[in-house]
Amino acid sequence: FVFFFSLQVEQVKLLDRFSSNTTKSSGTLYLTATHLIFIDSSPGSQNEIWILHHHIAVVEKLALTATGCPLVIHCKNFRVVHFVIPKERDCHDIYNSLLQLSRPVTHTELYAFSYNPKKNERERELGWKLVDLTEEYKHMGVPNENWQLSDVNRGYKICDTYPSDLYVPRTATKPIIVGSSKFRSKGRFPVLSYYHKEKQAAICRCSQPLSGFSARCLEDEHMLQAISKANPNNRYMYVMDTRPKLNAMANRAAGKGYENEDHYYNIRFQFVGIENIHVMRASLQKLMEVIGTKALSVNDYFSGLESSGWLRHIKAVLDAGIFLTKAVACEGASVLVHCSDGWDRTAQVCSIGSLLLDPYYRTMKGFMVLIEKDWISFGHKFSDRCGQVDGDPKEISPVFTQFLDCVWQLTEQFPRAFEFNEGFLIHVHDHIHSCQFGNFLGNCQKQRELLNLPPPLYLYCPFLLTTLQKLKTKTKPSGACSLFCSAYLSFEQTHWITNCTSHHLLKCLHECCSYNHLHLNTNPSYGQEILTRSIFKKLKKFRGEPLDLSHNSPKQVLYQRSSSPVLKAPNCKGEHILLPVSDNIRTVEGSTNGDGFHEYPAAFVKVEPTVVSLELGVARMTC
């Protein structure tokens, strides 16, 4: 990195808003082109705070006090930092600069365009190619005899917020598609989102029909029938309107609305009642107030939490996902999901559904594919929803945050079903806002192409993979030791926990938690893994030759668990029945021999139920 310190203020105090501890750390505040950096100058302290300008949501300048001018910075990743700057002038300068820097006007000002991790061209291209959606659809089992790749949207002719490659039923001809798209809001006609190979059922997505009070469109009706017919097992299909019924009715007055069951052949129509982006934004706002700054003393934390409604909304999204899953997995019926425009709630429900249906999406790679597929390519408006560039504040909404929260709730209920942990989710959440990588820039595929992203920008997935990789391969014994000891020690330090206000339901999302403790809670064998590897290394040194890690080494086993999806696409699709628990307990003591290890990964690594289903009592929802 090259730092341009446009501003440097010394003797800045950092207030800890959680501990009543009066010892404030003081240090120097640097303002660079991309970050606000605070470095603690007190001896022995290693405290550094780096805040990316894009992460800054609100900067507040409070009234002048005796010690200086307080400056409170609220971040989009729910971090709140409280500085006290000795001179009001400095404070004012910083305040103004931050205001400017945190609100870029055009996309080219974003960090992604200046971020340069010094990698060669080839690596960068590999990054862009890492997630190949065509491959992913093939993996899913399309195209096949019922579904085909359609080129109607090449050049974004029909729908500019859709990707150019779309999968539609074979029986849907071009006129039908075009006609249907004219009858759908923003031209977002029904297309395939997920195909369940075994049941031959499909999850499709679209936007609301322009039905108004009486309008109908034959092509659209044919389109739905084509989807329904593409599933030979089930004659009827579900149409899920993810909005509350009231909202859908209101939309009818504006010439939009929902499908009339009488007009469409064999559909079952269902509202699922997820509120709109404005309600969600307000709910998060309330939630933040409840868990916010002064709330530590508040006794009615629970009623506050309840009245924020956040958990209720999370439950609504999960309920909808479960409904979808049941329709596909139990009934084998195809489902068409839409909301108003089909890029917010629809994306949430489709991706939760896929996640519940297919264990592949519960791996790290699979999860990235899911985000690429259901969110990025189908035009979830990341740029608007996250407020990446200065725009309409009414467009900002925590839709994706909610999705991540839902996934987190699932990981809590199914601790074994997911390859990633909450740190991964925090990381994703941070980079949605960081604008450090090309993935989440812009609102849709077309806009990204116009921004001319591919050549100059780095992508998120490979970065994430390499960071995780890096963490996993930190094998130097000393390094590894300190890494894990410090991680464990942090338990001891009360301030660590209090600092990262970790306990509201997005407890994870609060603080850029260091990676150190990511594996701590989840992977007990991790320390041993490192240890084993370090010993392997040592052995290698003694031998002076590359050590052949025989296939029955524990290292191998763990690697399969931890990083195989990174290295190669996991083939964990299909039926995976949970470990045969009715059998005697796997005799593990004896399994140190080679055979035992062969058997082990199969039992240990891929033990996920194919369909994750869950119970959604509020009491189970952690907060």
Q: Which of 142, 177, 364, 530 binds another protein (CB under 8 A)?
A: 530
Q: What whole-number distance in Å separates Cα of residue 352 and Cα of residue 408?
A: 11
Q: Taking CB under 8 A as the criterion, which residues in 572-591 touch another protein?
A: 577-582, 584-586, 588-589, 591
Which residues belong to the annotated binding site for substrate?
276-277, 339-345
How far CA 460 is from CA of 110, 255, 372, in Å, comes to 15, 40, 11
Residue 93 has which token pair?
A: 């300068």
**Phi/psi at 41 (nearest 5 deg)?**
-95, -5
Sheet of strand 237-241: strand arrangement: 191-196, 201-206, 334-338, 237-241, 267-271
Q: Which of 130, 217, 549, 614 binds another protein (CB under 8 A)?
A: 614
Q: Which of 131, 322, 399, 464 binds another protein (CB under 8 A)?
A: 322
Closer residue to another protein, CB minimum distance, 124 or 472: 472
Quote the least distance from Cβ 251 to another protein, whole Å: 21
Q: What whole-number distance in Å separates Cα of residue 366 and Cα of residue 241?
A: 26
Closer residue to another protein, CB minimum distance, 180 or 411: 411
Q: Taking CB under 8 A as the criterion, which residues in 396-415 touch another protein?
A: 413-415
Relative orientation angle of helices 422-434 and 460-472, to the nearest 10 degrees: 140
Handedness of CA 427, 432, 434, 438 (dihedral sign): positive
Of the candidate spans 20-28, 165-173, 248-256, 321-329, the one that interacts with another protein by CB under 8 A turns out to be: 321-329
Answer yes or no: are the C-beta atoms of 456 and 113 closer than 8 Å.
Answer: yes
Quote the least distance from Cβ 223 to another protein, whole Å: 24
Q: Taking CB under 8 A as the criterion, which residues in 39-98 touch another protein?
A: none
Q: Which of 106, 246, 302, 470 binds another protein (CB under 8 A)?
A: 302
Answer yes or no: are the C-beta atoms of 29 and 37 closer than 8 Å.
Answer: yes
Q: Which of 50, 156, 301, 515 binds another protein (CB under 8 A)?
A: 301
Residue 347 interacts with another protein (CB under 8 A): yes or no = no
Q: Which of 185, 283, 325, 348 binds another protein (CB under 8 A)?
A: 325
Q: Is 342 left (phi over 0), alpha (psi -120 to 50) or beta?
A: left
Place of tokens 């740029």: 383
Of the candidate spans 79-87, 455-463, 562-570, 615-623, the one that interacts with another protein by CB under 8 A turns out to be: 615-623
Q: Which of 72, 263, 536, 601 binds another protein (CB under 8 A)?
A: 536
Say whether the peptide bond before residue 143 is cis (omega within 30 degrees of 0): yes
Closer residue to another protein, CB minimum distance, 101 or 513: 513
Residue 6 interacts with another protein (CB under 8 A): yes or no = no
Closer residue to another protein, CB minimum distance, 428 or 513: 513
Q: Taking CB under 8 A as the criterion, which residues in 246-275 touch another protein?
A: 268, 270
Quote the least distance from Cβ 414 to another protein, whole Å: 6
Closer residue to another protein, CB minimum distance, 15 or 607: 607
Q: Which of 558, 552, 562 is nearest to 597 (CA)?
A: 552
How many residues sit in the footprint of another protein (CB under 8 A)?
A: 93
Quote the least distance from Cβ 403 to another protein, whole Å: 19
Residue 85 has which token pair?
A: 């700057």
Q: Which of 15, 133, 217, 611 binds another protein (CB under 8 A)?
A: 611
Catalytic site includes residue 339: yes
Closer residue to another protein, CB minimum distance, 66 or 577: 577
Three-state DSSP class for residue 527: helix
Beta strands in 234-286 (DSSP E): 237-241, 267-271
Which residues belong to the annotated binding site?
276-277, 339-345
Burial class (CB in 10 A: 0-12, 13-18, 19+), 167: buried
Closer residue to another protein, CB minimum distance, 250 or 603: 603
Quote the least distance from Cβ 252 to another protein, whole Å: 21
Q: What whole-number distance in Å separates Cα of residue 27 and Cα of residue 327?
A: 58
Quote the least distance from Cβ 582 to another protein, whole Å: 4
Handedness of CA 416, 418, 419, 422 (dihedral sign): negative
Quote the least distance from Cβ 196 to another protein, whole Å: 12
Residue 402 has which token pair?
A: 């909610």
Sheet of strand 35-40: strand arrangement: 48-52, 35-40, 25-31, 7-15, 80-85, 69-75, 56-61
Q: CA Rg, the chain, in Å?
A: 26
Answer yes or no: are the C-beta atoms of 561 and 503 closer than 8 Å.
Answer: no
Q: Taking CB under 8 A as the criterion, which residues in 100-139 touch another protein?
A: none
Closer residue to another protein, CB minimum distance, 170 or 537: 537
Q: Which of 353, 527, 565, 570 binds another protein (CB under 8 A)?
A: 527
Question: Residues 339, 444, 500, 513: which is the catalytic one?
Answer: 339
Q: Taking CB under 8 A as the criterion, which residues in 551-570 touch another protein?
A: 553-554
Residue 599 interacts with another protein (CB under 8 A): yes or no = no
Hey, which residues does 202 pair with through a beta bridge? 195
Q: Taking CB under 8 A as the criterion, which residues in 461-520 touch another protein?
A: 477-478, 480-481, 484-485, 487-488, 491-494, 497-498, 501-504, 520
Of the candidate spans 49-57, 108-116, 329-337, 442-450, the one that interacts with another protein by CB under 8 A turns out to be: 329-337
Burial 96-131 (b: 16+ CB within 10 A, else e): ebbeebbbbeebebbbbbebeeeeeeeebeebbebb
Closer residue to another protein, CB minimum distance, 259 or 341: 259
Quote the least distance from Cβ 484 to another protein, whole Å: 3
Place of tokens 């035992």: 596
Q: Kind and range of the H or E element at 599?
A: helix 594-604
Of the candidate spans 127-135, 178-186, 251-259, 298-306, the one that interacts with another protein by CB under 8 A turns out to be: 298-306
Answer yes or no: are the C-beta atoms of 604 and 561 closer than 8 Å.
Answer: yes
Quote the least distance from Cβ 526 to another protein, whole Å: 7
**Residue 12 half-sphere exposure toward CB, CA atoms < 13 A:** 29
Residue 425 has which token pair?
A: 């989710």
Q: Which of 616, 14, 102, 2 is nearest to 319 (CA)?
A: 616
Residue 602 interacts with another protein (CB under 8 A): yes or no = no
276-295 footprint of another protein as x/- string (CB under 8 A): ---------------x----
266: Cα separation from own chain's centroid: 35
417-436 footprint of another protein as x/- string (CB under 8 A): x-------------------
The number of helices, as runs of H, and strands, as runs of E, in the chain is 22, 14
Place of tokens 């894990």: 484
Quote the least distance from Cβ 329 to another protein, whole Å: 5
Closer residue to another protein, CB minimum distance, 322 or 428: 322
Active site residues per annotation: 339
